[in-house]
Amino acid sequence: MEKQTNGKTRTNDEEKIQESHEAQANMWKFVFGFTEMAVIKCAIELGIADFLEKNQEPISLNQLSIALGCCSSSLYRILRFLINRGIFKETSTKNGKSGYVQTPLSRLLIKEGENSMAAFLLFESSPVMLAPWHNLSARISSKYNSTPAFEAAHGKDVWKYAEADPKHSNLLNNAMACDARVAVSAIINGCPEIFEGVNTVVDVGGGDGTTLRLLVEAFPWINGINFDLPHVASVAPHAIGVVHVGGDMFNYVPKADAAFLMWVLHDWSDEECIQILTKCKEAIPQDNGKVIILEAIIGEKEESIIRGSNNEKLKDVGLMLDMVMMAHTTNGQERTSKEWAYVLNEAGFNRHTINHINAVQSVIQAYPS
């Protein structure tokens, strides 16, 4: 019995030591977590993925450093870091030397790539968007949430800042267009039937019109109205089948068969969402109109995944987005299905359906009758 007890004691001690080592390793990852964003940003700005994509064979370090005008030893260290995370791959060139090639992950860093996430990362890693994170604890330490983190960092909210800074506004629009290409593709492939019989669509908060342009290309019977703040709509590029209209969604929404909102409502409080949805309800036919919403849906406590994705590896994205809303907006938040049902019912939508697509967002269709 004594030996067995000692064995159990040793086993428990070993488990505690192992847990301690794992905790330390994880803490180091948290301490230096920012390095991943910073190094990936560096790779995008250097154009590593763009150059490798143009050359469909392994490229040596010397070739790559010359082409990009980089210090070869520093470039090697950047690549070593990224390869360790599955971004880029090291293999042999025709001459048997070490060379570099793309991976599915690195292709998401191509600046003009079809499914590129480069613009989104450049936006979130900009000094403007990083600064509010330093004010997060100050915001939540107050019982009444005090000054929003973004406003504390910049003296105005994110929308007024973008209006006053065209360069930042362009970064924002490019990031939203970047996500739109991924999400709209998931809609087209996952539930195209939601646009059957819909002749006009107003994209509320549609940015530069990328979403509507993609929808009109896929469903050419649609006439699109890209509706956003005047400073956004006025510089939106021309697109066939799309007209750009400037205005304030809290005051009115242009008439259409369907109102489309992608990653708009999560920027606002419940009360503000109800105001926006009420204006959308007024804009659509009451007998057969609908509002189409693309948003992440946070899983309930007992669920292990974030609704809206077929990929369990995305389970933390919705929760991270909720932290982004806390840092970057005044009252924004990600919501559970029950919380979405509440704001929809309060805005006068008696029925809604949810379609889960292969994206972070889900498609919510809300009907006034």
CB-CB contact of 247 with 230 (8 Å)? yes
- Alpha-carbon separation of residue 49 from 71, 94, 275 (angstroms): 17, 20, 43
Give the pLDDT of residue 9: 65
pTM: 0.87
Cβ burial of 46 (10 Å; 0-12, 13-18, 19+) is middle
The question of whether 154 is a catalytic residue gets the answer no
Phi, psi of 204 (to 5 degrees): -85, 115
Determine the angle formed by the axes of helices 337-346 and 270-283, rounding to 10 degrees.
60
Phi, psi of 298 (to 5 degrees): -75, 135
CB-CB contact of 100 with 59 (8 Å)? yes
Q: pLDDT, tens digit, for every residue of 235-272?
A: 999 999 999 999 999 999 999 999 999 999 999 999 99
CB-CB contact of 139 with 145 (8 Å)? yes
Report how far residue 121's alpha carbon sits from residue 126's, in angstroms, rounded to the nearest whole number.
Answer: 8
One-letter-per-residue 3-state SS of 73-130: HHHHHHHHHHHCCCCCEEEECCCCCEEEECCCCHHHHCCCCCCCCHHHHHHHCCHHHH
Strand partners, 101: 89
Which tokens belong to 12?
A: 């428990």
Report how far residue 145's alpha carbon sits from residue 367's, in angstroms, rounded to the nearest whole number.
Answer: 34
Which tokens belong to 103?
A: 């991976």
Residues of the chain with pLDDT under 50: 1-3, 302, 304-310
Angle value at C-alpha 26, between 22 and 31, nearest 5 degrees:
145
Give the pLDDT of residue 305: 46
DSSP H helices in the chain: 2-31, 34-46, 48-54, 61-68, 72-83, 118-124, 127-130, 136-140, 149-154, 158-164, 166-190, 210-218, 230-233, 270-283, 317-328, 337-346
| Residue among 90, 89, 91, 47 nearest 70 (CA) | 47
CB-CB contact of 244 with 233 (8 Å)? yes
Choose the catalytic residue: 266, 328, 352, 356.
Answer: 266
Report how far residue 349's alpha carbon sits from residue 367's, in angstroms, rounded to the nearest whole number.
Answer: 5
Give the pLDDT of residue 138: 83
CB-CB contact of 236 with 244 (8 Å)? yes
Report how far residue 230's alpha carbon sits from residue 247's, in angstroms, rounded to the nearest whole number.
Answer: 6
Q: pLDDT, tens digit, for every residue of 95-109?
A: 888 999 999 999 999
pLDDT over 70, % of the chain: 92
